[in-house]
């Protein structure tokens, strides 16, 4: 198994190989889908894979809403930055950081749940949701399905919550479009930073790691140019994080979370 595509480096290689690694290393985002539906059995398998992910203290603080209705997918696509592939995909999964279940448990038991008001618990909710969803992504790829995460579902969280009927203390963390990849889509395996830029041994060495960014910028620029996309990785990072205006409405996320019942002391 070659790492050449994953790193955009013909010399990259790994001496271990198996089917799971092959699925993971071949991952790419899919934004154009074929006509076939995602079956009920496939959805069951994806959620089972998601529930097999680790969970902090086995809190399992997440839920997922499977959206198949074309009208609802269209409305969600508008709320998530007018991304047409959400409406085009046969299945859109909205992954929910869900502390409502624990809140209802405490209400029935007549016991306080004060620790749910702290940032740590909010972080656990979002982290566990992400771990679960990533398991589902790998499972989907193993079934021949393509996926793409949609962070823009957080652009208008209160409207998304209303569309999905989310209870208090439950927040949409991100979406995931799922379907059969359209083979005509022009896309490839996007190169990642070299391992030397992200892997440290014993202690963090920023200078050594950052020395590899220039080479990566060249590789990603070459990749982007094949698909008519401009810019290097560094340009993308700086533009994406330049200021609150680049966050597409998510600069007010803390206040929105508080209104939806996820305060963060």
Q: Which tens digit of pLDDT belongs to each residue from 129-141?
A: 999 999 999 999 9
Same domain for 58 and 21: no
**Mean of pLDDT values over 104-120:** 97
pLDDT for 244 beyond 80: yes
Round the average pLDDT of the chain to a whole number and report it.
Answer: 96
**Mean of pLDDT values over 180-206:** 95
Same domain for 171 and 44: yes
In a domain, 71, yes or no: yes
Q: What's the distance, Cα to Cα, between the start and end of the chain in Å?
A: 47
240, two tokens: 């994406």
pLDDT for 190 beyond 70: yes
Same domain for 96 and 63: yes
User: Cβ(19)–Cβ(137) under 8 Å?
Assistant: no
**Mean of pLDDT values over 224-244:** 92
**Mean of pLDDT values over 80-91:** 97
How confident is the model at residue 229, as a pLDDT?
A: 87
Query: Rounded distance, CA 198 to CA 220, Å?
Result: 16
What pLDDT band is residue 1 in, cutting at 50, 70 and 90?
low
- The domain that holds 67 is classified in CATH as 3.40.109.10
Same domain for 164 and 142: yes
Percent of the chain with pLDDT over 90: 94
In a domain, 198, yes or no: no
**Mean of pLDDT values over 209-230:** 94
pLDDT for 45 beyond 90: yes
Same domain for 156 and 139: yes
**Mean of pLDDT values over 39-45:** 98
Residue 147, Cα to own-chain centre: how many angstroms? 10
In a domain, 246, yes or no: no
Same domain for 51 and 161: yes
In a domain, 233, yes or no: no
Please state whether 97 falls in left (phi above 0), alpha (psi between -120 and 50) or beta.
beta
Dihedral sign, Cα of residue 194, residue 199, residue 201, residue 205: positive
Q: Of the residues 157, 183, 209, which one is the last residue of a structural domain?
A: 183
Range of 12's domain? Answer: 1-27
User: Cβ(50)–Cβ(148) under 8 Å?
Assistant: no
Same domain for 95 and 5: no
Q: What angle do CA 117, 258, 168 make, to 5 degrees?
A: 85
In a domain, 35, yes or no: yes
Number of domains comprising the chain: 2
Q: Of the residues 160, 183, 206, which one is the last residue of a structural domain?
A: 183
Same domain for 58 and 6: no
């Amino acid at each position: 198994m070659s790492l050449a595509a994953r790193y955009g480096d013909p010399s990259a290689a790994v001496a271990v190989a198996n089917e799971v690694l092959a699925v993971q290393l071949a991952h790419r985002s899919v934004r154009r889908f074929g006509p076939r539906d995602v079956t009920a059995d496939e959805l069951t398998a994806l959620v089972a894979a998601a529930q097999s992910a680790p969970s902090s203290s086995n809190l399992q603080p997440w839920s997922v809403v499977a959206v198949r209705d074309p009208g609802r997918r269209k409305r969600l696509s508008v709320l998530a930055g007018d991304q047409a592939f959400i409406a085009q995909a046969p299945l859109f999964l909205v992954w929910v950081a869900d502390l409502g279940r624990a809140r209802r448990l405490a209400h029935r038991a007549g016991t306080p749940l004060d620790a749910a008001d702290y940032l740590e618990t909010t972080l656990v909710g979002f982290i566990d949701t992400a771990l679960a969803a990533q398991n589902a992504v790998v499972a989907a790829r193993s079934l021949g399905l393509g996926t793409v995460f949609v962070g823009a579902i957080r652009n208008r969280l209160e409207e998304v919550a209303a569309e999905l009927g989310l209870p208090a203390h439950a927040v949409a963390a991100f979406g995931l479009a799922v379907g059969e990849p359209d083979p005509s889509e022009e896309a490839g395996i996007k190169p990642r930073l070299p391992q030397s830029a992200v892997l440290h041994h014993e202690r963090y060495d920023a200078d050594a790691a950052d020395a590899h960014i220039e080479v990566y910028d060249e590789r990603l620029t070459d990749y982007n140019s094949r698909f008519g996309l401009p810019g290097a990785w560094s340009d993308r990072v700086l533009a994406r994080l330049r200021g609150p205006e680049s966050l597409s409405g998510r600069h007010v996320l803390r206040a929105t979370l508080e209104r939806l019942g996820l305060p963060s002391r």
